[in-house]
Amino acid sequence: MSRYIIAVDLGTSSCKVTAITPEGKFLSSRTGTYPVNQPRPDWAEQDPAAWWEASVNAIKEILADLKKDDHQPIGLSLSSQMAGLVLTDATGEVLAPALIWLDRRSQDEAKELAGKFGAATVYRRTGCHIDPSYPAAKLLWLKNNHPEIYQRAGKILGVKDYLFYCLTGRFITDPSSASTTQFFNIVECRWEEEILKYVGITTAQLPEVQPSTAVHPLSGAAAAALGLSAGLPVAVGAGDGVCASLGAGAIEPGQACVTLGTSGVLRITADRPVRDKKGRLFCYCLQPGVWLGGGATNAAGNSLAWFKSRFYREATYDLINNDVLKAPPGAGGLIFLPYLMGERAPIWDPNAKGVFWGLTMDHECRHLARAVMEGVAYSLKDIQERLEDMGIAIEVIKATGGGSKSGVWRQILADVLDKKVVDSPPDGTPLGAAMLVAVGLGMYNDLAAAGAMVHYSSISLPRQEYREVYDQGFYRYREIYRRNADLM
């Protein structure tokens, strides 16, 4: 009888459940979807019950897939979208729709926090640029606009925290998820009392912070719903960005990872907090002594999905990749700014807008497709340069996420970032989650040893013959925003 781990990744639009062996072999994968509700501009809500339903259905499908081959689940682990806000009463009953990371309704409250504490002070303590994407501003918005909900809040949870409660009946989070609340001191690994007091909550309303590798038993109720055995070890898990870095093999200090998912993220693993003097980058604590620093662009895979829905409606992504290959590097002078949903790092401008710049009668759809991929790469280079300005050397970048399945896009990343890009498992996030429970069960001594679960396929090397093209393109990319930010 062979053994496997169930990894559950709650993303922005879907829940992906993957069965992975302790050696890192992928056995099966199932997906459940749920909507992002946007009743008003800048609002983005989800129903936590939909997360649970999608997870239950996908796990059951995995069990059915593997039962006939006599496979045995030995543990379960979680990752999820970060910076979400779920309010429940003391018994875990959800009080209102979850406000996810995409929700930007709390812009005034973010300014209020900056005015009260100073943006630099909050960033130094929490590692997060003050922004409406984080729960601190979201909770303040609820306090100001829906006090009847705010006052009933017995527990204030993140996305993964809610699912962990559904599985175990315990209110527990991990340092990385706590790091995206803007309530957590990333240096001292504790809740930041002064900010909590201002927002009007206590540590008793927050989940207990435990290591991401800590395991707890699956509750009887959850086991019955899932068709699993009660007591199955469930790891606390980590945020999806952290799990993506682990699953890409960027585990030890100095190793970097790019995730091309709905959003795009460049992260560096470090043995010290990675904080930009101007507060443009994030820094999360994975565990005491290990931090992840970097930045996120809002619309990476989302930009390509938007482009496909408008210009390639009946086509596959393979056709888009083939068309991109037919367009020259630099897209014939066409530049795309992927600010379709505002932008986070490094410009932090919720009013930023998407732009195609440089269009002429000579451009065809293939040029626009290539410009979209290159524009996302430029947005990641903007983050890379901020890291390198801090004296952080990046030699190799490990790529993961759905977008990294495109060899064309990986080559564009290598060319634009001027770094060797290693193709990690595209499902790096569930793999990273599986690594956590493998360590928690004692199969590996630590996360570095669990890196044996990561298997690489190909390498894309930067092509120096296109260096000037992309240097000029990146210069224009930044100047187009700088000169038009006020108009946006």
Domain ranges of the chain: 2-240, 250-423+458-488
pLDDT at 192: 96
pLDDT band of residue 350 (cuts 50, 70, 90) is: confident
The C-alpha atoms of residue 63 and residue 226 are separated, in whole angstroms, by 9
The C-alpha atoms of residue 209 and residue 171 are separated, in whole angstroms, by 9
Mean pLDDT over 285-314 rounds to 95
**10-51 per-position pLDDT tens digit:** 999 899 999 999 999 999 999 999 999 999 988 999 999 999
C-alpha to C-alpha distances, 349 to 104, 211, 264, 376, nearest whole angstrom: 11, 33, 16, 16
- Pair of tokens at residue 359: 């269009």
More confident residue, 442 or 395: 442
Residue 4 has pLDDT above 90, yes or no: yes
Residue 330 has pLDDT above 90, yes or no: yes
Mean pLDDT over 128-132 rounds to 92
Residue 446 has pLDDT above 90, yes or no: yes
Residue 424 has pLDDT above 80, yes or no: yes
Mean pLDDT over 335-343 rounds to 96
Residue 147 has pLDDT above 90, yes or no: yes
Candidate list 240, 323, 423, 427, residue with the active-site label: 240
pLDDT at 427: 86
pTM above 0.75, yes or no: yes
Phi, psi dihedrals of residue 88, rounded to the nearest 5°: -130, 165
Q: Is 2-240 CATH 3.30.420.40? A: yes
**178-206 per-position pLDDT tens digit:** 999 999 999 999 999 999 999 999 999 99
**362-393 per-position pLDDT tens digit:** 999 999 999 999 999 999 999 999 999 998 98
Residue 426 has pLDDT above 80, yes or no: no
β strands within 353-480, DSSP E? 355-357, 396-400, 420-423, 459-460
Instruction: Please indicate whether the domains covering 2-240 and 250-423+458-488 agree at the CATH topology level.
Output: yes
**355-369 per-position pLDDT tens digit:** 999 999 999 999 999
**CATH of region 250-423+458-488, choose from 3.30.70.100, 3.30.420.40, 1.10.760.10, 3.40.50.10860:** 3.30.420.40
* Paired sense of beta strands 396-400 and 256-260, if any: parallel
> Does residue 240 carry a catalytic annotation?
yes
